[in-house]
Amino acid sequence: MLCYQEWTVQKVRSHFQNKLNTLRRILDLYQEKVEKKNTEWEKRVVSKMLELFSTRLDALHSHQASTLQELQMARQEVGKVQELLMASSQEQQEATEEGASPENKVQQQTVDCSESDLPLEGAKARLEDLKESLHQREREITELLEAERSPVPPLPQPPCSVLLPTLIHKAHAICCAVSESRALLDQMIEENRFALVEARDKLDSLQMTPEDSTDRQDKTTDLKRSSEYESSLSLLQDRVREYEVSQMALDCIRTGESPETNDCDAVSELEDILGQGTIRTTEGVKSVGQQLLLMQDQLKQMKEENKKTIENYTSERTMRMKYYNMVEDMKGKIRVLCRIRPPSRIEAAQGEAVVVDKIDEFSVKVETARGPREFQFDKVFCAETSQEDLFHDTNRLIQSAIDGYNVCIFAYGQTGTGKTFTMVGDKEQKNPGILPRSFHAMFDIIRENSTKFDYKVSAYMLELYNDRLQDLFVSLAGEAHAQPQSHGQARRVEIKRNRKGVVFAQGAETKEASSAQELYALFQQACANRHISATKMNVESSRSHLIVGIMVESRNLTNGSVSTGKLSLVDLAGSERAAKTGAKDHQLKEANSINKSLSALGDVISALSAELPHVPYRNSKLTQVMQDSLGGNAKTLMIVNISPSECNVDETLTSLIYATRVKAITNNAQRNVESKEIAQLKEVIMKLRSGQTVEEEDV
């Protein structure tokens, strides 16, 4: 225990040392940077000052030159004035020497003075001027020199250089404080460890005392001594525990981690301490700190538990949804899957906002102008879902069709949302859709069960175009050529229902297939006869509804019973408004007819979901074709295809509301099996009708 504690302390210490070293390294780097910055700054200041000095020096030089020139000129003038003065004094001397009368002399003097003083006065004034200008120049030079001597105005210092020293100082202070605290903490740990060892030793020796004593009998009988022993034992135990908690708390402070304990007593201990008011003592403060640490740990644990509970709730919700869907499925509810297609290249180029989001496995959210709307389906597939993943969810329906159920899978949605992609796949069949995949799945199951059952697979493929059913196994051109009297009209195909309510296409050719490849070849042949027209919404948009019916007859080789299942695969035409597609003339007629059939489908869905007594199946050929799939005896799967983009948000909402209604419809799926006898009787009747001879073993 002790060894472990030492090891922990050692570990903690090295961890802390590492942290400190890193801090120092960072500080060194920082200082280096600061020094570099300062040198750069000095260089800049010196160059700036030199620049300033040189301009001042230039100005001074030019000033000095002009001053010297002026000075020279002034000197010359002074020279001239002095010459003049000398000449006039000589003249004066000569006149005195000539000895004129005092009157004359005075008179002469007055006249001379008045004459000769005039140029002298002018020269004196000029001299004064020159002196003044000389003084002025001198003052200017002195000022300039003084200015030169005065210090350059300080350049504004960058804020970082002002802050940096403070920062470095602070960092140093923090570093010192950290070292001090570390030392203090180390000391506290050491002291606590020592105290703990001491307390443990005392406790051990106290616990050993009764066993070691030879006078045990006396001690046990002496009640007083016994109670003393008990109280000191509990006191020591408490103390050991206290030191242990302190040790743990101190270790945690050093490592910065929360203690690993589930000790709920800590909370009550803290409450006790707070209640007793021991908080005023240092011991109390220490204890409160320890308790707080323990409580923090418990809080962390509770948060984790909370997180787990939320996770559990989410998974529970998902599970509940799954089971709910299963129950609904068993009740015969139509299953609805929602598939969000990825944004198209044009939408991405136009920067269309994505407003549709898959929230979880079962929910999709649409951001509308009025706020977000959430829809729930049996499953939601996002843009990244592969064709394989989607088919994985539909695979089991193929088994049902082989088992004798009437199965329908249909795609609904706005043009360009991926109905054909989902049902058929892309043009190059790099991403085959439900149709080719079901063909393969069907023949895989048939192959697996070939020893127990005898299978017959046949198919009809129809197109509902302008409210007219066309057999796609018959090309319009070929038909017109073979029967000129029909004026290009294909054979009349009518929708009928057998006694069990299963829809079949009377007048449509049914072709047999013995492999998935053969079946797909038939499908390709049918596609070649389709009406396809380019619209603005989708260049390859199919403007008609495609209905593929695959009948599987299986004869049980053991008991001779026969089951007949049907797999209907429907790729509906787009549900968008005609105006948006930019359709004209015959395309407008197509669009109107599509809208009519789809609104009839909508009416049927509404009536069924509202459980109205009358369901208007007869309003359109489409609803007649789908009569056994909606509210009928089929196991039905609808895939609602939607666009993720903001520009299609209205159509997306309409489709999702439709799909939500479809989800509420309950079908009554039943297996279509006949006993061996009935199957044989039917065969005999067929033979009699066609005029064949009936063998005895047939009956």
Q: From the CB of 309, what's the least distance to Mg ion, in Å?
A: 46
Selection from 660, 620, 627, 655 nearest residue 333 by Cα:
660
**Whole-angstrom Cα distance, residue 548 to residue 570?**
6
Selection from 566, 670, 639, 672 nearest residue 332 by Cα:
670
Indicate the residue among 575 and 667 with the shorter CB distance to Mg ion: 575
Question: Mask 511-550, x = binds Mg ion (CB under 5 A)?
Answer: -------------------------------x--------
Q: From the CB of 641, what's the least distance to ligand ADP, in Å?
A: 6
Q: Which does 643 bind (CB under 5 to 8 A by kind): ligand ADP, Mg ion, none?
A: none
**Whole-angstrom Cα distance, residue 674 to residue 682?**
10
Residues contacting Mg ion: total by CB under 5 A? 3
Q: Which does 418 bind (CB under 5 to 8 A by kind): ligand ADP, Mg ion, none?
A: ligand ADP
Binding stretches for ligand ADP (CB under 6 A): 341-342, 344, 413, 415-421, 426, 538, 540-541, 574, 641
Q: From the CB of 424, what's the least distance to ligand ADP, in Å?
A: 8
Indicate the residue among 19 and 427 with the shorter CB distance to ligand ADP: 427
Q: Which does 648 bind (CB under 5 to 8 A by kind): Mg ion, ligand ADP, none?
A: none
Reading the block at residue 684, the tokens are: 């005999």
Q: From the CB of 334, what's the least distance to ligand ADP, in Å?
A: 20
Selection from 45, 41, 640 nearest residue 375 by Cα:
640
Indicate the residue among 294 and 598 with the shorter CB distance to ligand ADP: 598
Is residue 414 near Mg ion by the rule CB under 5 A?
no
Reading the block at residue 29, the tokens are: 């780097």
The residue of the chain with the least Cβ separation from Mg ion equals 420
Q: How many other C-beta atoms are found inside a 10 Å radius of the C-beta of residue 229?
A: 15
- Contact between 455 and 537 under an 8 Å Cβ cutoff? The reply is no
Alpha carbon dihedral 337, 342, 344, 347, in 10-degree steps, equals 100
Selection from 25, 43, 34 nearest residue 164 by Cα:
34
Q: From the CB of 411, what's the least distance to Mg ion, in Å?
A: 8
Q: How many other C-beta atoms are found inside a 10 Å radius of the C-beta of residue 549?
A: 22
Indicate the residue among 305 and 389 with the shorter CB distance to ligand ADP: 389
Q: From the CB of 419, what's the least distance to Mg ion, in Å?
A: 5
Reading the block at residue 359, the tokens are: 């929230």
| CA-to-CA dists, residue 434 to 377, 530, 532, 548, 553, angstroms | 19, 19, 20, 12, 21
Indicate the residue among 542 and 672 with the shorter CB distance to Mg ion: 542
Helix, strand counts (H, E) of the chain = 19, 15
Q: From the CB of 605, what's the least distance to ligand ADP, in Å?
A: 19
Indicate the residue among 542 and 623 with the shorter CB distance to Mg ion: 542
Q: Which does 341 bind (CB under 5 to 8 A by kind): ligand ADP, Mg ion, none?
A: ligand ADP
- Contact between 463 and 571 under an 8 Å Cβ cutoff? The reply is no
Indicate the residue among 418 and 602 with the shorter CB distance to ligand ADP: 418
Q: From the CB of 643, what's the least distance to ligand ADP, in Å?
A: 9
Q: From the CB of 620, what's the least distance to ligand ADP, in Å?
A: 20
**Whole-angstrom Cα distance, residue 666 to residue 341?**
28
**Whole-angstrom Cα distance, residue 10 to residue 4?**
10
Indicate the residue among 542 and 624 with the shorter CB distance to Mg ion: 542
Selection from 373, 357, 362, 358 nearest residue 321 by Cα:
362
Q: Which does 119 bind (CB under 5 to 8 A by kind): ligand ADP, Mg ion, none?
A: none
Q: Which does 593 bind (CB under 5 to 8 A by kind): ligand ADP, Mg ion, none?
A: none
Pairing of strands 453-465, 545-556: antiparallel
Q: Taking contact as CB under 5 A, which single stretch among the options 419-427, 522-530, 594-602, 648-656 is the one that binds Mg ion?
A: 419-427
Q: From the CB of 336, what's the least distance to Mg ion, in Å?
A: 19
**Whole-angstrom Cα distance, residue 474 to residue 482?**
11
Q: Rounded to 5 degrees, what are φ and ψ at 370?
A: -95, 10
**Whole-angstrom Cα distance, residue 105 to residue 88?**
17
Question: Mask 308-347, x = binds Mg ion (CB under 5 A)?
Answer: ----------------------------------------
Indicate the residue among 609 and 652 with the shorter CB distance to Mg ion: 652
Indicate the residue among 502 and 546 with the shorter CB distance to ligand ADP: 546
Q: Which does 655 bind (CB under 5 to 8 A by kind): Mg ion, ligand ADP, none?
A: none
The residue within the footprint of Mg ion, chosen from 420, 554, 581, 643 (CB under 5 A), is: 420
**Whole-angstrom Cα distance, residue 567 to residue 394?**
12
Indicate the residue among 410 and 421 with the shorter CB distance to ligand ADP: 421
Q: Taking contact as CB under 5 A, which single stretch among the options 149-157, 416-424, 598-606, 680-688 is the one that binds Mg ion?
A: 416-424
Q: Which does 549 bind (CB under 5 to 8 A by kind): ligand ADP, Mg ion, none?
A: none
| CA-to-CA dists, residue 161 to 27, 139, 154, 168, 259, angstroms | 16, 41, 14, 11, 44
Q: Taking contact as CB under 5 A, which single stretch among the options 63-71, 210-218, 412-420, 470-478 is the one that binds Mg ion?
A: 412-420
**Whole-angstrom Cα distance, residue 525 to residue 471?**
11
Q: From the CB of 431, what's the least distance to Mg ion, in Å?
A: 15
Considering Cα of 217, then 222, then 226, then 229, what sign does the dihedral take? negative
**Whole-angstrom Cα distance, residue 313 to residue 303?**
15
Find the helix or strand (DSSP H, E) in which 457 lies: strand 453-465
Indicate the residue among 16 and 421 with the shorter CB distance to ligand ADP: 421
Indicate the residue among 433 and 565 with the shorter CB distance to Mg ion: 433
Q: Which does 632 bind (CB under 5 to 8 A by kind): ligand ADP, Mg ion, none?
A: none
Reading the block at residue 344, the tokens are: 């198209």
Q: Rounded to 5 degrees, what are φ and ψ at 533?
A: -135, 140
Where do contacts with Mg ion occur on this chain (CB under 5 A)? 419-420, 542
